[in-house]
Structure 1
Amino acid sequence: MRESRPDAVLIEPAPSLWERVICGVIIAMLTGALIGPVFAPLQEETPVLRLVWLPAYAAIVGLLLFRIDRLWRAWPAVIVIVALVGLAFASRYWSIDFATTMRRVIALAISCGFALYLGAVFRGPHLPRLLMHTSLVMAVGSLVMVFAFPAIGVHQLDNAGLWRGLWYEKNQMGAVMVIGATAAAACLASPDPRRLLPAISLILASGLVLATQSKTSLLCLLVGLGLIGGFWALRRGGPVVTVAAVWGAVVLAGAGLWLWDSHSVELLEALGKDPSLTGRTDIWDSLMRKVADRPWTGYGYGAFWGRIGESVPADWVRKETGWLVPSAHNGWIDLLVQLGWPGTILVGTLMVVTAVVTVLRSMGQGVREGWWALGFLAAFFVLSLSESILMAHQGLPWVLFLATLTRAVLPSPATVPAPLVEKRRGAYQTGPRIVSQYPHGSQRRAFPVR
């Protein structure tokens, strides 16, 4: 059964071209694309990297000031960001590396400000479309690196032969391409009639995820695309399809939980994974013993994983596990060692609240954006179990999570009765176009302006 068109469409003008270009560049920088491998091939913080980020920080501040009229409406998100940054700032009093904590708190505050801007300005379908365009550029750049500069684009020692594109590791490329593929799928599921570019982007991003052979990225891709595709199918189907889909999802989820609980070792071996998750379980066990020493404070924001010889607790973990551990490879445990249980509980609560509000609003703003937020949140949660992405001071997944939170708490814009999309190729109808279709004052608002 074909979905019926609503008799009102949300007026969400696209941000200006120069804003989209600047935001695309900052998003690429947040992924670490090319900048890290070129300026810090040993994966260390260097003065050059800090200088490279200064223009980006200035641009973010400029964007916030330019759109200050939009930001005040997102005051619940502002409160959340102040609480997060405030807790990270307070950790300087017990941090084992005061200078690193202060430097990264500043970067965290600016990144959170950029997330607030993205959520408040790029409403509806405009954020997934921005992500799709940016990831498509990075995907093409990754192909150039793989075939023209394989020393950078392909792993040479560990994981030899696997693609890593513009990044240090294959897992980084996999995570970025998951974000791009999810955004492209959302653009295909949205009412926007432009289909060619999203289809190309989805195929290319999914192919690069497969080229990394990252099981975590593949799982995130399946979860994100599956959720978006499921909601799209429910929207187009009737009540019978809806009931059958919900029943099937519950049964599959229950079966999956039972299989994992009773046959996790066999499942991992069937997927070609070490049951210890390539030594990660040893890291987690060791880190939880260090968490027990400081359960309520942690070791300070961004301070635990110092260089060899500069962080006593990190060196202890590295000695116990027998290898140079760079991170916890788990966002929640990394939060525990940085900010203790208060920080972890705060982030967990925010994730649950954001997911609930997004689901409640999914039949409204979810339709317009192709259910991007739901797909991204599902992939984000799965990724957080394997990668240290929570409260990252310079990380795209965390920025997009806060942007999703901001979009969830913002009131819906005004609506007017109008055709959902133009028949011809083009963007959503803008206010002037809609007014021109109703020259005799027949235009009315479906909902009041808030």
Structure 2
Amino acid sequence: MKIPKALLIDPERNTVYGGFAVAVSIWAFSYSVVFGQVLILAYYAVWLPLILVDYRRFLRQLSSAWLPLLLAAYVCFSVFWSAAPSVTARTAVQYFSHIACAYIAARTISVRTLTIGALAGIFVVLLYSLRVGHYSADVLDGTFNFVGAFASKNQIGFVASLGIYFCVVFLAFLRRGRLSLILTAPIMLLSAYLLAISHSATSIASVPAVLALVALLAISKQLPSRYRRVIFVVGAGLLVVVAFVAMNLGLMDFVLGIFGKDSTLTGRTYLWEQGWDAAQQSPILGVGYAAYWVQGFSEAERLWNEFYISARSGFHFHNTYIEALVELGFVGAGLISLIILRTLHGHVSAVVFRTWQAEPVILAGVMVLLLIRSFVEVDILNPYIMGSFLLYYSYFRLTPVPVSRPRWTPAGLVEPNLAKG
């Protein structure tokens, strides 16, 4: 049986396959630790073979991906100065292939398909966690939080916050008919419920901020481009002022107090200090990608012991930039920061300075969510996690998806995307 190539790689026609691929990816990102390598193999299986369908699509405009490719190359080369070369080599290859899968996704599926697949995947993931129903006691702040099938409340909180976000943007910008409202309602309710009982302060606080930004960008649709620019400049200035005032007047303590926390963020400030001290040992290049949290290394073992991490894995400095400084030095931290800023600026400027479209609004919201979380979580430095996949997908969507040109053959005009596979 021959399958039309367009049903696999044409963003206008591959909603079914693309949505399925995204849903499989989210399941792999969430539960590969639970179900093992079979989910990672499934993740590769839905993306990598698409290269064989139309390899020219992925080679066109490849130079636009130079910044993530430079980071991936740097991560791989860090094996030469890594404190744990074998760990760095394995994880670096995984991260590189993870970026490649995000690149393929960005070249083959639309933002609407991404949203539909994300909603389907998140719904199944949250249903499974609800069925597992595990709770975990936080020995540092004495709270009892829902974690489901995840390892921590922050992981399930992130998934639930994405569920709410994608529900809102789908209903606001992408739905077609009343059936969409009926289908998204259970996902919205389940996401909101699990977010509430997870008690993840970062996830709960970030959702309103991101939705407010999306609402502002949506309202700007009614304004001429010159007024959008004024609003953007004024809004950015106010944001800087509010952030400065919040830091100096203790508003952060007030916000955290709502969630029963204090300014130490349950030990995160101590972790930041420890991370900064560790970064000073090798400030330029770092200790090597994934080469700090290694069993048998004294500093990692000490911190695992102090924070009661009996599994001796799955821990980090709860700050993307400090984690990057420790593992990749100022060079790596600079590269990852450039990727975040370039992606955020690209999508926001597309809304403010060009013809208004829903796609950059949605991806700008995703980037703001990741940016907020980057100061207290590490969502984008590891392979096989949702945050890094969304980051690189958003980056690669800055470049228009290449369209295969028709070509003449002895049999006549052939459209590559519509030809039979």
Could you tell me the TM-score, scaled by structure 2's length? 0.81
Q: Is the alpha carbon distance of 1:19 and 1:166 closer, same or farther for their aligned partners in structure 2, counting shifts above 3 Å?
A: same
**Letter matched to residue 95 of structure 1:** S
**Is the CA contact (8 Å cut-off) linking 1:366 and 1:372 kept in structure 2?**
no
Deviation of the 1:254 alpha carbon: 2.5
2:211 is the counterpart of 1:225 = yes
Residue of structure 2 aligned with 1:327, choices 312, 316, 326? 316
User: Which of 145, 148, 154 in structure 2 is aligned with 1:162?
Assistant: 145
Q: How much does 1:21 deviate?
A: 1.6
* Secondary structure, counterpart of 2:288 in structure 1: coil
Match of 1:25 in 2: 24
Q: CA deviation at 1:328?
A: 0.7
Shift of 1:373: 0.3
CA pair 254-90 structure 1, distance change in 2 beyond 3 A: same
Q: Is the 8 A contact 2:21 2:117 kept in 1?
A: no
Partner in structure 2 of residue 378 of structure 1: 368
Partner in structure 1 of residue 58 of structure 2: 71
Could you tell which deviates more after superposition, 49-58 or 170-179? 49-58
- Show the 5 A alignment for 1:220-299: 220-236=206-222, 251=238, 254-264=241-251, 266-267=253-254, 270-271=257-258, 272-299=260-287
Alignment match, 1:137: 124
Aligned counterpart, 1:345: 334
CA contact (8 A) 2:19 2:113 kept: no
Deviation of the 1:329 alpha carbon:
1.1
Partner Cα separation in structure 2 for residue 398 and residue 103 of structure 1: 17
Paired residues of 1:116 and 1:403 also in contact (CA < 8 A): yes
Residue 185 (structure 1) aligned with residue 171 (structure 2): no
> Between Structure 1 and Structure 2, how many residues are aligned?
383
Pairing 1:106–2:93 present:
yes
Partner of 2:418: none
Q: 1:267 to 1:285 in 2, by over 3 A?
A: same
Pairwise CA distance, 1:14 = 3.6
Offset of 1:113 from its aligned partner?
1.1
- How far has the Cα of 1:80 moved from its partner? 2.7
2:67–2:335 CA contact under 8 A, matched in 1: no
Correspondence 1:387 to 2:377: yes
Residues 244 and 394 (structure 1 numbering): CA distance in 2 closer, same or farther, change over 3 Å?
closer
Kindly tell me: are residues 156 and 341 of structure 1, through their superposed partners in 2, closer, same or farther at Cα, counting changes over 3 Å? closer
CA contact (8 A) 2:201 2:256 kept: no
Partner of residue 214, structure 1: 200
CA distance in 1 between counterparts of 2:105 and 2:54 reads 10
CA drift at 1:341: 0.5
Which structure 2 segments of 5+ residues have no match?
1-9, 405-421
- 1:185 to 1:287, Cα distance in 2 relative to 1, 3 A: same
- Given that 1:389 and 1:397 are in contact with CA atoms closer than 8 Å, whether structure 2 keeps it comes out as yes
Structure-2 change in CA distance of 1:259 and 1:15 (3 Å) = same
1:401 aligns with 2:387: no
- The code of the aligned residue for 1:340 comes to G
Q: Amino acid of the residue matched to residue 105 of structure 2?
A: L
Is 2:79 aligned against 1:57?
no
Following the alignment from structure 1 to structure 2, what is the Cα–Cα distance between the partners of residues 125 and 52?
24
Paired residues of 1:77 and 1:405 also in contact (CA < 8 A): no
1:13 deviates by 0.6
Tell me, yes or no, if the aligned pair for 2:119 and 2:166 is still in contact at 8 Å. yes
Deviations 1:285-326 (A, max 9, x none): 11211111100111111111012xx2234235557x575482
SS at match of 1:371: helix
Q: Deviations over 1:153-209 (max 9, x none)?
A: x32675664222231111101111222222221112215324413344334323321
CA 1:14–1:98 in structure 2 vs 1: closer, same or farther (change >3 Å)? same
Paired residue for 1:7? none
C-alpha distance 212-13 of structure 1, shift in aligned 2 (>3 A): same
The whole-number CA distance in structure 2 between the counterparts of 1:90 and 1:162 is: 40
Task: Give the CA deviation at 1:217.
Answer: 0.4
SS in 2 for 1:127: helix
Answering whether residue 356 of structure 2 is matched by residue 354 of structure 1, we say no
Equivalent AA in structure 1 for residue 72 of structure 2: V
Moved more, 376-385 or 257-266: 257-266
Contact 2:275 2:322 (8 Å CA) reproduced: yes
Is contact 2:217-2:351 (8 Å) kept? no
| Shift of residue 57, structure 1, vs aligned partner | 2.9
Contact 2:115 2:170 in 1 (8 A): yes
1:327-346 CA-partner distances (Å, limit 9, x unpaired)? 11111111111110000101
- Which SS does the other structure have where 2:122 is aligned? helix
State whether structure 2 residue 187 is matched by structure 1 residue 201.
yes
2:48 is paired with a residue of what secondary structure? Answer: helix
> Post-superposition shift, 1:111?
0.8
From the superposition, tell whether residues 252 and 341 of structure 1 become closer, same or farther in structure 2 (CA, over 3 Å): closer
Alpha-carbon offset, residue 408 of structure 1? 1.0
| Contact 2:165 2:211 (C-alpha < 8 Å) held by counterparts | yes
Which of 50, 56, 75 is the matching residue for 1:88? 75
Give the CA deviation at 1:376.
0.5
Structure 1 residues 191 and 24 mapped into 2: Cα distance closer, same or farther (>3 Å)? closer
Contact 2:44 2:101 (8 Å CA) reproduced? no
Q: Which amino acid aligns with 2:51?
A: L
Deviation at 1:109, TM superposition (A): 1.5
Q: Structure 1, unaligned stretches of length 5 or more?
A: 1-10, 40-48, 415-450
Q: State how far apart, in whole Å, the 2-side matches of 1:113 and 1:248 are.
A: 35
Does residue 175 (structure 1) correspond to residue 164 (structure 2)? The answer is no
Q: Percent same amino acid at aligned positions?
A: 21
Give the deviation of 1:51 after TM superposition.
5.5
- Pair 407,397 (structure 1): closer, same or farther in 2 beyond 3 Å: same
CA distance in 2, matches of 1:296, 1:239: 42
Deviation at residue 215 of structure 1 after TM alignment: 0.8
Q: Deviations over 1:356-405 (max 9, x none)?
A: 11112226686333821011100001111111223212211011100000
Give SS of 1:79's match.
helix
